[in-house]
Structure 1
Amino acid sequence: MNKEALDNLVRIHKLHHEAVDADEVQGLIQSGSLRLKDAGLETLSLESRFDLSYNAAHALSLAALRHCGYRSDNRYLVFQCLQHTLDLPPAKWRVLDQAHRKRNLAEYEGNIDVDEALVKSLMEITEEIRRAMVALATG
C-alpha cells in the first residue's frame, strides 16, 4: 500500500479516513465474488455480463480501499486508487476506468456500447483484484 499517495488524496479532499470495518470488507469481497461468478455465465446477455463484472470490480476495489482505512465518494476514484491499495499497474486500472465511462453512458444516456473483449478484460482484472483481496483478508 502506498499510504503517502492515499494520504495526499485525503489532504485534497478526494478521500477521507474511515476506520476499517472487517465485516464491511468481507461483505464487499463476497458481493464482488458472487457478481464476478455470475458474470461468467455465458447464457446472460453481454450487457448483463458487463454490468455484473463492472459492479464486481467496483465492490472488490472498494474493499481494497476500505481495507486500507479510506473511503471515497467518487466511484471512479476507487479504481484509480488500485495503484496505491493493491499496486495494480496503471494499464489495468485504466481498463476499469474505461468500463466506468461506458457504464455511465449506459446508465445515464442509454448508450450501451460494450464488446466481448472489454468484458473479458474486465473479468480478468476483476479476478486478479478478487484474488488479492482474498489473500489480504485471510492473511
Structure 2
Amino acid sequence: MSVPALDNLVRIGQLKAEPRNVLELGRMLKMARTRLADAQLGSLSLEGRFTSAYNAAHAAALAALRWHGYRSENRYTVFQCLAHTIAWPPNRWRVLDAAHQKRNLAEYEGYLEVEESTITELCALAASLIADVQALTAQ
C-alpha cells in the first residue's frame, strides 16, 4: 500500500520499499507484546524496563511500516513515520522519539536517567501502539 509521504522518503533514501511479509509482521507484533510484558515486570531494573518498553514500541512501529511495504534501517525513522502509517498525531509519536534519544544516550554514552513515570507513559503508549497496529494489520 503506497503512501505518498513514505514514497518521498524512499526517493531520498530514508526508507526502502519492500513487499509486505505477513509472517514477519506476526513475529514483530509477538515480540512487541513480549517486550511490553517484560517492561511491566517489577523485578527488573528501571533501565531494563525502559529498554523493554522502548523495544516494544519500536517493534510495533516497525510492523506498521512493514505492513505498508516499507523498511527503515534507521530506528528513529519508524517512530516519525507513525504519522503516516497509523495516523498518530505528533504529540504521541514524539514521546517515542524522545525515548529513542534516551535509548541512544544509554547505548552510546552509557548514560540513562529514567523515572517510573517515564516507563509508565512509555508502556501505555506501547500498548496503544500495539493495539493500533494490530487493528491495522487485521484489515
TM range (shorter): over 0.9
C-alpha distance in structure 2 between counterparts of 1:57 and 1:69, whole Å: 19
Distance, in Å, in 1 between the alignment partners of 2:61 and 2:32 is 9
Contact map agreement 2:36 2:53 (CA 8 A) in 1: yes
- Structure 1: gaps spanning 5 or more residues: none
The answer as to whether partners of 2:106 and 2:112 remain within 8 angstroms in 1 is: yes
- TM-score, normalising length from structure 1? 0.95
**Gapped regions of structure 2 (runs ≥ 5):** none
Whole-angstrom distance in 1 between the partners of 2:44 and 2:16: 37
The alignment's TM-score, normalised by the length of structure 2, stands at 0.95
1:35-54 matches, within 5 Å, as 35-54=35-54
Aligned ranges 1:5-84 → 2 under 5 Å = 5-84=5-84
Please list, as runs of the form range in 1=range in 2, the aligned pairs for 1:66-105 lying within 5 A after superposition.
66-105=66-105
Q: 1:68 and 1:138 mapped to 2: Cα distance?
A: 13
| Partner SS for 2:96 | helix
Q: Which moved more, 1:5-14 or 1:27-36?
A: 5-14
1:127 counterpart residue number: 127
Residues 18-59 of structure 1 deviation map (CA, whole Å, 9 limit, x = unaligned): 000000011000001111011111221111110100011111
CA contact (8 A) 1:26 1:137 kept: no
Kept after mapping to 2: 8 A contact 1:20/1:67: yes
- Corresponding letter in the other structure for 2:18: E
The amino acid of 2:63's aligned partner reads A
C-alpha displacement of 1:120:
1.2
Does structure 1 retain, via aligned residues, the 8 Å contact 2:76–2:100?
A: yes
> Residue type matched to 1:12 in 2?
I
Q: Deviations over 1:87-109 (max 9, x none)?
A: 11101111111110110111111
**1:31, 1:56 within 8 Å by CA — same for their partners in 2?**
yes
> CA separation in 2, counterparts of 1:103 and 1:2?
30
Secondary structure in structure 2 of the residue aligned to 1:96: helix
How far apart are residue 137 of structure 1 and its match?
2.5
Q: Please state whether the residue corresponding to 2:71 is helix, strand or coil.
A: strand
RMSD value, Cα: 1.3
2:13 & 2:114 partners in 1: Cα distance?
33
